[in-house]
Amino acid sequence: MNALRQGIISRLKAAALDRDREMDLAAVALLLAQADFPSEPLAPFQEHLDHLVIDLSGAGEDVDHVQDRASALSEVLFRMHGYKGDTETYDDIQNANLMRVIDRRKGLPVALGILLIHMARAQRWSITGLNFPGHFLLRLTHAGEQAIIDPFRKAKRLTAENLVGLVTQVQGPGAKMHAKYLKSVNDRDILLRLQNNIKTRALAAGDTDHALEVLETMTLISPDSANVVSELAILEAEAGNFKQALDRLTSFLAHRQGHPEEDQIVALSKNLKRRLN
């Protein structure tokens, strides 16, 4: 790992592990993006985030209803600054890297959602990501009202009928809407979702090294996730690094006695030991 990337990873680790402060979602997403482009400075992208916030503070003055807030977000990000959901090249890996999303003014729902969250929180508006499958959505809340909006479709407010249609579009005919799909997720979950999109695209392109690097960042974001560490260990083993994979699992268990998924990690460790021997 080169010195530039090592420095980025150290800053990312410090930001992700500070559980006493609310995470700056967009700032951490930019660090994750910079990990893939270590020589690029963050200052221009941070300035752009500031401009988004300033423009929304003007457009969002004296908004009395939640729909007005949704409209102000849409006006600033999508009309004034020209962002859009990338429908033409949806699977382009750049769509989940926040630096490239800002450069290209287009991206995946979760990347655009992070920008909207950043803008709204700077106004002290209540906004959260949702646990919706296959398509990231947001919920705005204000004065007893709420609106579920789609970052990929210019912050369009979705009706109950829209949500049911989106479930069937993502999961296929016969899929049903469930209350758990509308539960709020935390910032770490949002960042994992962002990185998972990059990892999936890297693997599809046969770029195992990149996928491993992305999974490493995911372990920093969510160090207690058995699923992330298991996936990383499996990929390391498939790349021939059995000892590294076993050491990773052993360390995970040593620092997390009584972890709910301890049996899963133990079983994977035993399997890898058999393959190593």
Q: What is the CATH number of the domain that holds 213?
A: 1.25.40.10
Clarify whether residues 227 and 243 are in a common domain: yes
Low-confidence ranges of the chain (pLDDT < 70): 1, 18-21, 277
The per-residue pLDDT for 257 is: 86
Clarify whether residues 24 and 111 are in a common domain: yes
Clarify whether residues 17 and 120 are in a common domain: yes
Coil vs helix vs strand at 261: coil
Clarify whether residues 112 and 242 are in a common domain: no
Phi (first) and psi of residue 262, to 5 degrees: -60, -40
Coil vs helix vs strand at 116: helix
Clarify whether residues 130 and 194 are in a common domain: no
Total Cβ atoms within 10 A of residue 202: 20
Clarify whether residues 85 and 32 are in a common domain: yes
Strand-pair category, 184-185 with 156-157: unpaired
Clarify whether residues 16 and 132 are in a common domain: yes
Domain extent at residue 234:
187-276
The per-residue pLDDT for 96 is: 98
Q: State the pTM of this model.
A: 0.95
Clarify whether residues 47 and 127 are in a common domain: yes
- The answer to whether the CB of 170 falls within 8 A of the CB of 136 is no
Domain boundary among 155, 185, 215: 185
Clarify whether residues 270 and 161 are in a common domain: no
The per-residue pLDDT for 20 is: 56
Clarify whether residues 163 and 228 are in a common domain: no
Domain boundary among 156, 185, 214: 185
How confident is the model over 50-109, as pLDDT tens digits? Answer: 999 999 998 877 788 999 999 999 999 999 999 999 999 999 999 999 999 999 999 999
The per-residue pLDDT for 276 is: 75
Clarify whether residues 196 and 136 are in a common domain: no
Residue closest to 233 by CA, chosen among 204, 184, 186, 275: 275
The number of domains in the chain is 2
State the chain's mean pLDDT as an integer.
93
Q: Which two tokens stand for residue 211?
A: 């996928």
The per-residue pLDDT for 62 is: 77
The per-residue pLDDT for 274 is: 86
Residue closest to 220 by CA, chosen among 9, 4, 33, 35: 9
Clarify whether residues 35 and 134 are in a common domain: yes
Domain boundary among 138, 160, 185: 185
Query: What length does the chain have?
Result: 277
